[in-house]
Amino acid sequence: MLYVLDHVDKKFIVIDPSRVPEWCEDVPYRKYGQTITHFYKKYTTAMNVNSPRWDQNIYKWSFTHEKGIVEDEEKGYSTGYLVLQYMSWWKSIQSMEICTDRVTMRQNLIIYILSLGVNAYRQLLPAEAKNYLSRINEWDIK
């Protein structure tokens, strides 16, 4: 689950690839009531440390369960991979297609992690692996 907080427009948006149960399809807020309560307490504590004068009440912000989210068909096993894609997609200037194939999602994540400049072990990869990763990502991997 991914929370998006818009402090300017006072919006609380949830991006959640898990299914919304039938009993709360008409009001998705019901599914997230307890989660939002725990989140509110932790977020308020963090904001009071960061900005002691902050006194917003998130409960009064408009709540939205983002529409058009790809549902996790694997009973939760791919939710994290989908959320990572939505984090990249949110407010992106490029249009992005969300990958739903579980094998491809996992492969893309491993390729991305191996290719990152902050990966200390990247230098230990064989030249063939670096060449392969460079061709896939179109990055210069050294």
Q: What does the radius of gyration of the chain's CA atoms come to, in whole angstroms?
A: 19
Q: pLDDT for 16-36, tens place per residue?
A: 777 777 888 777 677 778 888
pLDDT in tens, the chain (142 residues): 777 888 888 888 887 777 777 888 777 677 778 888 888 888 888 888 888 888 888 888 888 777 767 666 666 556 666 666 666 666 665 666 766 677 777 777 777 777 777 777 777 777 887 777 777 766 666 6
Strand, helix or coil for residue 42: helix
pLDDT value at position 137? 64
State how far the Cα of 47 lies from the Cα of 69, in Å rounded to an integer: 29
pLDDT value at position 26? 79
Please indicate, yes or no, whether the overall pTM of this predicted structure exceeds 0.95. no
Asked if 82 and 71 touch (Cβ cutoff 8 Å), the reply is no
